[in-house]
Structure 1
Amino acid sequence: MASSSKAPSSRRSVFDAVHIRSEFSAAGISAHFIPLIWKYVLQNPRCSDLDGVPSLPAAAYALLRQKFRPTTSTLTAAADSKDRTTTKLLICLQNGESVEAVVMRYDTRLGKYDGKPRPGGVRSTLCVSSQVGCKMGCRFCATGTMGFKSNLSSGEIVEQLVHASRYSQIRNVVFMGMGEPMNNYNALVEAIGVFTGSPFQLSPKRITVSTVGIIHGINKFNGDLPKVNLAVSLHAPDQDIRCQIMPAARAFPLGKLMNALQSYQNESKQTIFIEYIMLDGVNDQEEHAHQLGKLLETFKAVVNLIPFNPIGSSSNFKTSSDQNVKNFQKVLKGIYRIRTTIRQQMGQDIAGACGQLVVSLPDERSAGGATLLSDIEDLRI
């Protein structure tokens, strides 16, 4: 049994950039062929081998046959929300585990930017996972109930974009799916490097990485991923509440986290996106809004207020009332002049809304994803 479980991993994803570059270099093959291989896989979704890639050196074909596969993951299920704005993808990895990716479509003609209507059309954001499960254990998030199972390779992260590209032209990517991206840092950096190169050509400004506040990752973030957006799952304006709802916050004291964010912003000059889940009677009172406003008043930040999505009968949390959410927003905007949005929920009917992501096979209906108020370009200031 042990030998059969190891056999598939002997051949890596062709999208594992560091490994394919290393193998090509060792074989004396130019790395400029690699984007051509990736483009071929994108354009030939059913290819089972790489013999059809045009114009490679003979040595490249032999190496690819021996050590790489077009993709190592398989799209096993896809579900569309009733309004067709959200598609949830269940992706099986070669180790037998599964993750979710969620495609969210936005029609820019239906909204306004800077108070003015603008031309445009449908564009899509992809929410990707970076781990199977999560170590952070946030009490309001279904993924935390899975515990941590494994890190994704950079190729497995990229393959989520490959699978999603067959459903929609992806313009933005958010790392807001399963897992804590900063706990899989090297794979995160490598995958984003592939996203921003040929053939994907995503702008770093259209990629967002969300973290619960891993300080050592934030300290490296701008140096490794300049122009990529940073989102922080703050969820409470003081350390005590954070620790109650986010046990991992004990390792990242709020004062040290805010110092790290200030250093990051001083260096990067980038807006920081603050995610704040609204929990009835826990963190949604007017006093909490004032505390948050004072905490952020020296920052260039956008606060995204997130209605809590039920994650099962075991949850002790309730969704804040619409009035509490509006009052909270009014304090932040009116008194502290902090840009504050309320997240539009998408994909709830397919368990594809924020915090609902959990894979419990074989019941694929339990899987989910993450959402944004609008695509990231609309939140940049």
Structure 2
Amino acid sequence: MGVGSIFDGPDVRAEFEKAGINTHFIPFIWKYVIKNPNCEWDDIPDLPSAAYSLLRSKFKTSTSSVDSVINSNDGVTTKLLVKLQNGAFVEAVIMRYDTRLGKYCGKPRPGGPRSTLCISSQVGCKMGCKFCATGSMGFKNNLSSGEIVEQLVHASCLSQIRNVVFMGMGEPLNNYSALVEAVRAMSGVPFQLSPKRITVSTVGIIHAINKLHKDLPGLNLAVSLHAPVQDVRCQIMPAARAFPLEKLMDALQVYQKNSMQKIFIEYIMLDGVNDEEQHAHQLGKLLETFDVVVNLIPFNPIGSLSQFRTSSEEKVLRFQKILRGVNNIRTTVRKQMGQDISGACGQLVVNLPDEKKPPNLGVTDIEDLVSRR
């Protein structure tokens, strides 16, 4: 076995057990490394002597590094370009909110500043959605659970992270075991993020959705639906052919019945493709038996890669009005963040560059609703 990440929970536990070292030391080690990111293993106090030699030979405090930090002109979005051990790049995006802004039920909102972290689960993506630049990369490789968790560790050095959304590069449910282990690490000591503050977005991998509630109870599920009928969905999301809409909705009914939780529906607005009034009525009919929040996402242009146009604001608001008024479905319009640093929905792509120029990366799907709950 090569040198792995200390945040790869299953590997670390297996090695500790094999060496007869109590696994209760692992959260203590994680906490120390988070607070002292540049530490050496010998700096950590009070471990059994066998633990030090094991850590030196088998694990690194971090297998990834922050290659660059790019701040948006919006003042609230920061993009971390993370270089992995194999030389590939992924990115994590920090989005800062102040929940006191605006009103809730006519009263000032409680709370204060908080941050949501959008993280990647794969290098590239094999789903090939035509409106998302990541799809043009193809699939490179899965991240380990440690590489996923390390994005949270890096971001925590810059901001106190309250929510995590799996909406960066990749289809999280296609890297299922690493996703499950990463979420378990994030919701345990020392991170202690509530599962209610972790959201996983998927195009609808049915067999994985069927396992998700049992493996990760309490998690938020977001589904990238993007069309109310199968033929339109296949037109813009080739992977949808493997996951027929009728079967996907059946799986979501079972998931909701078991989890008793709201499901977030993501719907990117593409002019003349899925944004007409008939589509709004079809979507309302499709979702009428569910407890959902629909998040309408303005399409972000991605240069020559796209044949699509952005829906007009009037069309988006009319679509929202139909879902709310006719079907009584809670519907929000996503606020765009970080477009100037290619950090907005659908702009993520790696044009692997010359040596001195960092890759132009972004985020496929940023779900900010969790931050506003």
| TM-score bracket relative to the smaller structure | over 0.9
**Contact 1:132–1:149 at 8 Å: present in 2 too?**
yes
Q: Structure 1 counterpart of 2:194, which letter?
A: S
- Please state if 1:19 is matched with 2:17: no
Structure 1 runs of 4+ with >6 Å offset = none
Note the 1:178-193 alignment, pairs <5 A: 178-193=169-184
For 2:22, give the aligned amino acid: S
CA shift for structure 1 position 122: 1.1
Aligned-pair CA distance for 1:214: 0.2
2:33 to 31, 36, 41: 41
Q: Which amino acid aligns with 1:105?
A: R
Are the aligned partners of 2:92 and 2:117 in contact in 1 as well (CA < 8 Å)? yes
Q: Distance in 2 between matches of 1:140 and 1:184?
A: 22
Q: Give runs of aligned pairs for residues 52-91 of structure 1, distance below 5 A.
A: 52-91=43-82
Residue identity opposite 2:171 in structure 1: E
Residue in structure 1 matching 2:360, options 343, 353, 366: 366
Aligned to 2:135: 144
Instruction: Look up the SS of the partner of 1:313 in the other structure.
Output: helix
1:284 aligns with 2:275: yes
- 1:258-297 superposed matches below 5 A: 258-297=249-288
Deviation at 1:371, TM superposition (A): 5.8
The amino acid that maps onto 2:30 is W
Matches within 5 A, 1:335-354: 335-354=326-345
Equivalent runs, 1:163-202 vs 2, <5 Å: 163-202=154-193
Give the secondary structure class of the aligned counterpart of 1:208.
strand
Give the RMSD, CA atoms, in angstroms: 1.2
Letter of the aligned partner of 1:73 in structure 2?
A: S
**Aligned counterparts of 1:375 and 1:328: Cα–Cα separation in 2:** 19
Change (3 A) 1:184 1:178: same
Q: Secondary structure at the match of 1:164?
A: helix
Provide structure 2 residue ranges, at least 5 long, that are not aligned to the other structure.
none
Helix, strand or coil: the match of 2:73? coil
Aligned-partner Cα distance in 2 for 1:145–1:325: 26
Compared with structure 1, are the counterparts of its residues 102 and 222 closer, same or farther at alpha carbon in structure 2 (3 Å cutoff)?
A: same
Give the 3 Å change call, closer, same or farther, for CA 111–364 of structure 1 in structure 2. farther
The answer for the alignment partner of 2:370 in structure 1 is: 376
Structure 2 counterpart of 1:29: 21
* TM value normalised by structure 1: 0.95
Deviations 1:67-104 (A, max 9, x none): 00000001000100112200000000001101010000
How many angstroms apart in 1 are the aligned matches of 2:12 and 2:240? Answer: 37
Residues in 2 aligned to 1:101 and 1:78: alpha-carbon distance in whole angstroms: 10
Does structure 1 residue 204 correspond to structure 2 residue 198? no
Q: Which amino acid aligns with 1:36?
A: F
1:114 Cα offset (Å): 3.6
**Any stretches of 5+ residues in structure 1 without a counterpart?**
1-8
Look up the equivalent residue of 1:369 and give its one-letter code. Answer: V
User: Is the alpha carbon distance of 1:189 and 1:222 closer, same or farther for their aligned partners in structure 2, counting shifts above 3 Å?
Assistant: same
Cα offset for 1:314? 3.0
Q: Paired residues, what number?
A: 370
Q: Is 1:350–1:365's contact at 8 Å kept on the other side of the alignment? A: no
Q: Which residue of 1 aligns with 2:126?
A: 135
CA contact (8 A) 1:205 1:227 kept: yes
Is the CA contact 1:344–1:371 (under 8 Å) kept in the aligned structure 2? no
Q: Which residue of 2 aligns with 1:161?
A: 152
The share of aligned pairs that are identical, in percent, is: 70
The CA distance in 1 between the partners of 2:143 and 2:173, in whole Å, is 12
Residue in structure 2 matching 1:105, options 96, 108, 114: 96
Give the residue type in structure 1 aligned to 2:265. I
Distance change in 2, residues 1:232/1:103 (3 Å) = same
Q: Within 2, Cα distance between the matches of 1:155 and 1:372? A: 22
Contact 1:136 1:246 in 2 (8 A): yes
Deviation at 1:360, TM superposition (A): 2.2
TM-superposed deviation, 1:118: 1.8
Do the aligned partners of 2:7 and 2:146 also contact (CA within 8 Å) in 1?
A: yes
Query: Contact (CA 8 Å) 1:207, 1:228: kept in 2 or not?
Result: yes
Aligned 8 A contact 1:102 1:370 in 2: no
Cα distance in structure 2, aligned partners of 1:119 and 1:96: 43
Q: Please name the residue that 1:334 is paired with.
A: 325
